[in-house]
Structures are given as C-alpha cells and as structure tokens.
Structure 1
Amino acid sequence: MNLLLVEDDKTIATGLDYSLTQEGYTVTVCHTLSSAQQALVTGAVGSKAFDLLLLDLSLPDGSGYELCRQAKTESDVPVIFLTACDDEVNVVMGLDMGADDYITKPFRLRELMSRIHSVLRRYSKTAASSMKTTLQLGPIRIQLLEAKVYKHEQEILLTPLEYRLLLTFANHTGQVLTRSQLLEGIWDLAGDFVNDNTLTVYIKRLREKLEDDPANPALIHTVRGLGYRVGEAHRAES
C-alpha cells in the first residue's frame, strides 16, 4: 500500500519512513505543503495513487488542513493527522474536514501502526458492505455506494463524522447503543479523542438535519440512562 507522509520535522519523517517501510508500506515523504500537493497530483494521474495520508498540521508553507481538504475533494482517501495540537477545537475541525483519525505527538510507533490498520480496515469493510446497497430509515435513504443521504428525495449534507455516526445507528437498528458503543463505532481505537460532550453535539446536529422536529425526535430515540436507539432499517440492492 502507498502512503503519503507529510512531516516538516525531518528527523521524525526519517524515522517514520523507515518504520513504515519495514511494515511493508511504500512511503512518499514530503516536508512542505507545496511538495505534498504536487505529490497528490502525481499520484492522481500516475500509477501511484495513495491508500492513506499521514499529515502534520503545522507546515512551513501552510497547514495540513489545506491538504486534507484538497485530498478529500478529489477522492475518499483516508487521512490521519499527526500533530502536537490536541485541543478539541482543532480535533473537531479536522474531523469535519473528513479526517479519519487524529494522533498527538509524541506517540508510540505501535499506537500509530494500530491506528493505520484500524482506519484501513474500516475503509475496507465499508467498501465491501456498500456494493449496490441502499439503507432506508423511515424517510431517510442512505446511498452507501455514493456515501450520500436523502430525506424525501432531497439530499442532506453531512460531515464525515456525522455520516459515520448515522451508519453506526443504521447498522444496529432496533438495538440500544450506549455512548461508549457509539464512540467505538465512530472512532474505533481513537475514541478518547471524542468525548461525551462532542458526541452529544454530533447527535444534536444529526437530529437537526434529519428529524422533522428535533426537539421530539422520531428517528434517533434517547433511551434514558442507557443510550440511543433507531428503528429498523431496510437494505436493498440499488
């Protein structure tokens, strides 16, 4: 698999390049935003499309946010941020742009490898389960192949994390999901970066976008003292 590593600290970049190569990955290393943007273009038109991006946030000529936005506009390539900024504002901003994970420096190499495997595994499962299928939750239709959501035939725009939260509900319809289970479903091994307050915000956002009356939700039900539940979903070939 081909990885793009964007890290301006050349010592860190060299160490990660060596370790990732030892794990069997083919690594392209860039130290600036401009060189990484060029690498994305080259990968898009050549035979070396990237399977995952590891992006530092603070770069000499810009931000990893810019690169994430560009990459997600062109394809659904998974993105992991590597950064020393761990405050919630930066985390949520990265997630809303489509980042799939967020790991703060300093980190253990084994933790990074675990996060990479987790993100790639999640993408692999999503691709396998989304072939020619549609999920229907009442008036809500989820087109899994296109990762689009519709309500009464009108497209509802969701952030990547909102979409993953909705998929977690849709894949466990009729079940009561605890907050811990929802965090695991959204974030796999990185649940510690999405706390209870952040989860509450995303559930509120989902209700505002999907429910006719968010104050009296008919789709995402609160089960007091336990968690949340949605009704049965219908899966069909598209």
Structure 2
Amino acid sequence: MGSEAGRRILVVEDEPVINQAVTDRLRGSGYDVVQAWDGPGAVTVFSDTAPDLVLLDVMLPGFDGHEVCRRIQARRPVPVLMLTARDDEADILVGLGVGADDYLTKPFRMRELVARVGALLRRVDRAMELATQSSSDLGDLRIDAAARRVWVADAEVHLTPTEFDLLLCLAASPGVVLTRENLYAEVWGWPGASGTRTVDSHVKALRAKIGADRVRTVHGVGYALETVPPGE
C-alpha cells in the first residue's frame, strides 16, 4: 500500500448500495472510511471526523453536492472528488467553482475511483512540497508559493487549491506549451487522456480569475502561461 493508505475518506452518496460498495472497496484498499447520505449529514460528519478527502455525489437530499462542497471548503480546504450522473460542462464548472478538484461520471469503475482517490491524496502531498518554492513574478502576475497567494496588478486573486496548483505548474515553465495530458499527470497525479476535460474546465475557471489572455491555447496540444498578456 502507498503512503495514502490509512487516510480518512468521507463518502457522501444517497444511494445505499453505491455508498456501501464504494465504502467497502476503499476500506479494502486500506482507507479509513466514514459515510453520509444527505447534504446536511455530510457537513456534520465532515466537521466531526475531519476527513482527508471527500467523495461527493452531486444529487443529494437536503441540499446538493455543490452546496456541501461550498460549506466544507469554507470550513477547511480538502480535496473533493465529485460523482456526477451528467457529463455536462456547465455542471462541472459549477462544481469546480465551489472547490471540487476532479469528477467522475457515473457509472464508473471502482478501480478507477480508487486510483483517482490515491492520485488526489498524492497531489496534496506534492502541493506541500511545492510550497517551499520562492515567489514568482511574471509581468504583473505574482505568485507566492509558500503562502499559496496570487496577485494580478497588485489585486489579490482568490483561487481554489487546484486552480492554484495548475497555475503553479504552468508558471514553472512560462511560455512553454504543456500538453493537457502532462498537466493532468502533474497537477492531478493521474496520467492518461481521460482527464483532459477536467484540465480544460479548470483552465477556463483560471482564465476567468487571472485574465483570459494569460493562458494561451495551442489547439490540439495544450496550454502555456504568458508572462505578459498579448497587446501589452
């Protein structure tokens, strides 16, 4: 088992059969698992048990997974893997906007779910290592890796943990085009083409916060961080 084994995971799913199947599989992989079946219960269990990661269904009784994610992230930043029955970009962007890190579309394979969980936990560990990096100044874009803070033209920009890690990865090689597959492997720790839409959605959210022209798209390849937006 990897270093992620023994970490605590909160599984939030209102369908009892799915909830128990996911719980059993994760426990079999060495994780400590706690469960919730609705929105209010998820927030309560999160506060009571302090999990290291949350598996969160979007459609829940009480209030939905997006509201759960918003409330728990306000209490303590934690990696969240959303489970959704709809592969719809609008829904995905809402989830990312409230702090979700990644998503899986139902029906999913248990093997992939366990792998995504492990990858997200390893990403958290890598983020702690990256925090030792010094600040970066790219034009009027300033990144403080240790404090995990970003400024654009002296105005602070508030990024989700994953948006910050994505920006930090792009900023490590300014002007260099990084493939979507490489970004997914580096930021999410999960190699393969299956996560390229996750990358695209996070880039779209990042552009909305730091400026659309700061992240250049190379169609069919990937993205590059511009040190100075075009036209300046």
TM-score category of the 2 structures, normalised to the smaller one: 0.7 to 0.9
- Structure 1 runs not aligned, ≥5 long: 44-48, 233-238
Corresponding residue for residue 168 of structure 1: 169
Measured against aligned partners, the alpha-carbon deviations of 1:196-216 in whole angstroms (never above 9, x if no partner) come to: 6x477457535527xxxx4xx
What code does the residue aligned with 2:211 have? E
80-89 or 110-119: which moved more? 80-89
Please give the alpha-carbon distance, in whole angstroms, between the structure 2 residues aligned to 1:147 and 1:165.
12
AA aligned to 1:91 is I
Q: Which amino acid aligns with 1:25?
A: Y
2 CA distance for matches of 1:107 and 1:225?
A: 27
Classify the secondary structure of the residue corresponding to 1:158.
coil
Hey, what does 1:146 align to over in structure 2?
147
Structure 1 residue 205 corresponds to structure 2 residue 211: no
Note the 1:41-52 alignment, pairs <5 A: 41-43=47-49, 49-52=50-53
Determine if contact 2:59/2:84 at 8 Å carries over to the other structure: yes
Within 5 A, what are the aligned runs for 1:68-87? 68-87=69-88
Which residue is equivalent to 2:198? Answer: 194
Percent identical residues: 36
Match of 1:16 in 2: 22
Mapped to 2, the partners of 1:143 and 1:156 lie a distance apart of: 12
CA 1:84–1:153: 2 relative to 1, 3 Å: same
Q: Is residue 130 of structure 1 aligned with residue 131 of structure 2?
A: yes
What secondary structure sits across from 1:27 in the alignment?
A: strand
Q: Which runs of 5+ in 2 are unaligned?
A: 1-6, 228-232
Secondary structure class of the residue paired with 1:58: coil
Aligned length: 218
Distance in 2 between residues matched to 1:59 and 1:225, nearest whole Å: 37
Name the aligned partner's letter for residue 208 of structure 2. Answer: R
Letter of the 1:15 partner, please give it.
A
- Whether the 8 Å CA contact 2:93–2:205 is kept in 1: the answer is no
The range that moved more, 33-42 or 98-107, is 33-42
Using the size of structure 1 for normalisation, the TM-score is: 0.78
For residue 198 of structure 2, what is the amino acid of its counterpart?
V
Q: Which structure's CA Rg is the greater one?
A: 1
Report the CA distance between 1:132 and its aligned residue. 6.5
